[in-house]
Amino acid sequence: MSANANVSARERILGRLRAAAPQSKPAAPDVHALYAAMRKDDSRAERIARFCAQMAFWRGEVVPVTADGWTDTLRELCAAKGVASLLHGPRGVHDSALAAAGIPGLKAYDRPVGEWKQELFEATDAGFTSTRGAIAETGTLIIWPDAAEPRLMSLVPPIHFALLDADCIHDTLFDAMTAEGWSADGGRSLPTNALLISGPSKTADIQQTLAYGAHGPKELVVLLLDKTRETAANAAEENRQ
Amino acid sequence: MSAQHPLQFVPAAEFKQRSVDATSDAHLRQSFRGAMDFLMAKRAAQFPDDASLQRQRAIAEAIRQYSLARLPDLLEQLERNLTAKGVQVHWAENAEEANAIIVGIAQRHSAKLMVKGKSMVSEETELNHAMEAAGIAALESDMGEYIVQLDGEKPSHIIMPAIHKTKQQIARLFAEKVPGVSYTESVDELIGIGRAVLREKFMHADIGLSGVNFAVAETGTLCLVENEGNGRMCTTVPDVHVAITGIEKVVEKLEHVPPLYGLLTRSATGQAITTYFNMIGGPRKGGADGKGAELDGPKEVHLVLLDNGRTQAYADEQMRATLQCIRCGACMNHCPVYTRIGGHAYGTTYPGPIGEIISPHMMGLAATHALPTASSLCGACGEVCPVKIPIPDLLIRLRGEATHEARPGHAPLVGQGAARSALMDAVWAGWAALYTRPALYRAFGWLATRFRFLTPPTQSGWTVSRTPLKPAARTLREQLAERRRKTH
């Protein structure tokens, strides 16, 4: 493919489009009005409940955890599921907490994938990632991989554990992207790969029969950290005493 | 499927014969009837409130029309923003150019194996064929696509490629073609077999290919919609990722994506959302001192923008609506013709109603003029289309273009007037003469009713599955006159 031929293909396509493009342009569609009309105005608790119900519908497991105890819960889950190796981010914010939890087989994603691809694919039982937030309407996790938590952690290991802060659950995808300004400044804050994940990998390609674990994780476990509920529970506990 | 052209489409010109064959295949009929009923019910369950659905369709249509009106500007903006993020953008006028670009990229990397996520545009260009010819294996990794490729077939549905196959057929196929696999009808086990084979391939592939569902101009983002995770594998594991898309898939703003995405998955498979929504904004970041360096993701990302007849549709105000399509497949799921003949009969990449209106631009009317006639004009396709493409109107328009000269002031389409025949012209001329001369018309009516015993008992294709047409004993006019006499 010579550069010239390519330039001319570009010019010819754009030329044909420009020659035919309509003179009067329709006005910008009012997406905000659409979502304003559909808005549910749920309370925080309703939003969390909706997220949990939807995630369960996709066969994602939601496990309530506490700020102090989530690593213990994770260790217990790993033991129950027979996880012999748990992958975590090399410089993730939860590094020290994980290390202190005494989870057997904990290993860091600390070198480029090309150096250990086979081990990642064949000898890694589970991956643990943080999340940026979630979407209640559809039971969806928002995950922005980066250097500290690479892209494949939520895809290759058969089990994906994801820690979600209940304060970061938005009503809809539209709400999440507008509230967080994803497209501000030409989308400069967006990572090289942003992900929405709703349940474990699945397919219905054989006779419309749903099967899980098509290529990605067979299980998705959301560790739901709800500090408000925790505070309320603690207060109730103190009241009783 | 023809052994002669294992990777190519059968000629669309043989559409009628294949339709006849398909309608007499009870298994195929059953597969499609069952699958279409299933998909229609799932879609309907997602839209319990019609007023809300109509609001969403109106916005989706407005977004697509707004984007198309600005298409050349948006493509340039997309190119600018992607280039700034390190994505290499290529333009191709036709399938051969697109394939040459992708083969070239693969050869520069001495690639031996390409893994493919689901991409109908790569089916359109018959990329697999071009890759094989260059000695590079191209492996489909969507479960449905993997199954049809293993059997030397092509997808029969744009969303569910193996919809024409029963699990027994797939069980036999796997037992025959996958080494070390014994016959099993368990869907979980069959998927497990595909998973094991394909994970091995993801690990070793040099290059990954994907389509694009939405390309966002303002942020330079490529969005991919999928359930299985093979799309993420193809775009993340190999060192090189090539995305290919039609030029019409671009939208201006990120906020234009949620309404389209929400309607796409609900219309396609009746899901509120897919398992994965994969937003790609460039290759793995190097990091200045190696500290912020990303540890996975492709080191190179390419985007191939393909025309292949789309600018012909764009040039006509009415036919431009064809490009509003977001490829949900709802039109085929609801089409009484598609449900009965299945996807392969069409002989084109895109079957069903959307295929009938887009294929003439890609392949020319000479090869495809029969397709727009494969509709009873019941209107179901237009009614369910999430972006409100007036498909029935476009079918009628293309039928006209296939049998007439171009309208004044319009450039002729490729294959304009290809379906015109001396016989049809003569029949219409005769019909016009009869219906514009009352005396002649009355004489014809009298003769047809009095000599109705001469009606042939077999009438070409009509009597294959229907009783023969026979004129009444008296013309309608005579019958009405008779009734008036009696009542007075």
**Which of B162, B229, B255 is the closest to A216 by Cβ?**
B229
**Closest Cβ–Cβ partner in A12, A178, A211 for B255:** A178
From the CA of A94, how many Å to the nearest CA of chain B? 18
- A-chain residue closest to B306, CA distance: A13
Residue-wise pLDDT for A100-148, tens only, equals: 899 999 999 999 999 999 999 999 999 999 999 999 999 999 999 999 9
Q: What is the pLDDT of residue A41?
A: 84
Nearest CA in chain B to A58: B275
Q: Cα–Cα distance between B291 and B162 in angstroms, integer? A: 45
Our CA-based measurement puts residue A237 at a distance from the nearest CA of chain B, in whole angstroms, of 39
What is the model's pTM?
0.94
Residues of A in contact with B115 (CB under 8 A): none
Comparing alpha-carbon positions, the chain B residue that sits nearest to A156 is B233
Nearest to B218 among A155, A187, A207 (CB): A187
| pLDDT value of position A45 | 95
Nearest CA in chain B to A186: B219
- Chain segment B287-302, per-residue pLDDT in tens: 765 668 999 999 999 9
- In order of A28, A73, A100, A234, the CA distances from A70 in angstroms are 46, 5, 12, 16
d(CA A194, CA A130): 13
- ipTM given for this complex: 0.95
Q: A7 falls in which pLDDT band (50, 70, 90)? A: low
pLDDT band at A6 (very low <50, low <70, confident <90, very high): low
Q: How many CB pairs under 8 A join A and B?
A: 278
Q: How far does A50 lie from chain B, in Å, by closest CA?
A: 13
Looking at beta carbons, which residues of chain B come within 8 Å of A208? 34-35, 38-39, 160, 163
Is residue A28 a part of any domain in this protein? Answer: no
* CATH number of the domain enclosing A126: 3.40.50.10420
Q: Which two tokens stand for residue B288?
A: 């200045």
Cα(A159)–Cα(A163) distance, integer angstroms: 13
User: Residues with Cβ < 8 Å from A98, sequence gap 6 or more?
Assistant: A71, A74, A88, A92, A106, A128
Instruction: Please indicate whether, in this complex, the C-beta atoms of A205 and B277 are within 8 angstroms of each other.
Output: no
Residues of B whose CB is below 8 A from A211: 187-188, 190-191
Q: Which residues lie below 8 Å from residue B234, measured CB to CB, with a gap of 6+?
A: B115, B116, B117, B141, B202, B205, B208, B209, B210, B241
A111, closest residue in chain B (CA to CA): B295
Which residues contact residue A186 at a Cβ distance below 8 angstroms, ignoring those fewer than 6 apart?
B81, B218, B219, B220
Three-state DSSP string of B394-405? HHHHHHHHHHCC
Contact: B294, A146; criterion CB under 8 Å: yes
Percent of chain A's residues with pLDDT above 70: 97
Nearest-CB residue to B259 (from A34, A118, A192): A34
Question: For an interface test with B, which of A171, A183, A206 has the most B Cβ atoms less than 10 Å from its Cβ?
Answer: A206
Instruction: Say what the pLDDT of residue B4 is.
Output: 35
Q: Which residues contact A182 (CB under 8 A, 6 or more apart)?
A: A176, A189, A190, A194, B219, B254
Residue of B nearest to A119 (CA): B203
Residues of A in Cβ contact (< 8 Å) with B315 = 16, 19-20
B280–chain A nearest CA distance, Å = 5
| Within-domain flag for A166 | yes
Q: Give the right CATH number for B317-403 from 1.10.1060.10, 3.40.50.970, 1.10.3720.10, 3.40.640.10.
A: 1.10.1060.10
Sign, Cα dihedral of A198, A199, A204, A208:
negative
Q: Mean pLDDT in chain A?
A: 93
How many domains, chain A?
1
Task: For chain B of 488 residues, list the mean pLDDT of each consecutive stretch of 10.
Answer: 41 84 92 94 97 97 98 98 98 98 98 97 96 97 96 93 94 96 96 97 98 98 98 98 98 98 98 98 82 92 98 97 98 97 94 97 94 97 98 98 92 95 94 95 95 93 90 94 90
| Least Cα separation, residue B147 to chain A (angstroms) | 9
Chain B residues whose CB is inside 8 A of the A207 CB are: 165-167, 187
Question: What per-residue confidence (pLDDT) applies to A2?
Answer: 47
Joined tokens for residue B381: 């396709």
In a domain, A22, yes or no: no
CA-based end-to-end distance of chain A? 78
Q: Do A216 and B305 touch (CB under 8 A)?
A: no
Q: Which residue of A has its CA nearest to B319?
A: A20
| Residues of chain B found within 8 Å of residue A12, distances taken between Cβ atoms | 93
Q: Which of B205, B244, B243, B7 is nearest to B114 (CA)?
A: B205
CATH number of the domain at B7-312, please? 3.40.50.10420
Residues of B in contact with A191 (CB under 8 A): 281
Q: Residue B209 in contact with residue B141, Cβ under 8 Å?
A: no
Are the Cβ atoms of A174 and B69 closer than 8 angstroms?
A: no
Alpha carbon of B4: minimum distance to chain A alpha carbons (Å):
27
* Shortest Cα distance, chain A CAs vs residue B270, angstroms: 12
Residues of B within 8 A of A196 (CB-CB) are 273, 276-277, 279
Average pLDDT over residues A77-95: 92
Angle, CA of A163, A165 and A168, to the nearest 5° = 130
The answer to whether the CB atoms of A16 and B311 lie below 8 A apart is: yes
Tokens representing A146 are 């980066």
Q: How far is residue B335 CA from its own chain's centroid? A: 13
Q: Do A117 and B203 touch (CB under 8 A)?
A: yes
What is the per-residue pLDDT across B406-431, written as a single tens digit (0 to 9) for each? 989 889 999 999 999 999 999 999 99
Query: Is A65 within a domain?
Result: yes
* Cβ-Cβ contacts under 8 Å, B66 against chain A: 25-29
Listed in order, the ranges of chain B carrying CATH 3.40.50.10420 are 7-312
Yes or no, beta carbons of B101 and A1 under 8 Å apart: yes
Instruction: For residue A35, tell me if it sits in a domain.
Output: no
SS (H, E, C) B362-409: HHCHHHHCCHHHCCCCCCHHHHHCCCCCCHHHHHHHHHHHHHCCCCCC
Q: How far is B22 from chain A (nearest CA, A)?
A: 19
**Distance of residue A228 Cα from the nearest chain B Cα, in angstroms:** 29
Pick the residue of A25, A174, A188, A192 with the most B CBs within 10 A to test the interface with B by mutation.
Answer: A192
The residue of chain A with its CA nearest to that of B276 is A197
Q: Which helix (H) or strand (E) holds A22?
A: none
Of chain A, the percentage scoring pLDDT greater than 90 comes to 82
* Structural domain harbouring A210: 41-240
Q: Are strands A86-88 and A106-108 parallel, antiparallel or unpaired?
A: parallel
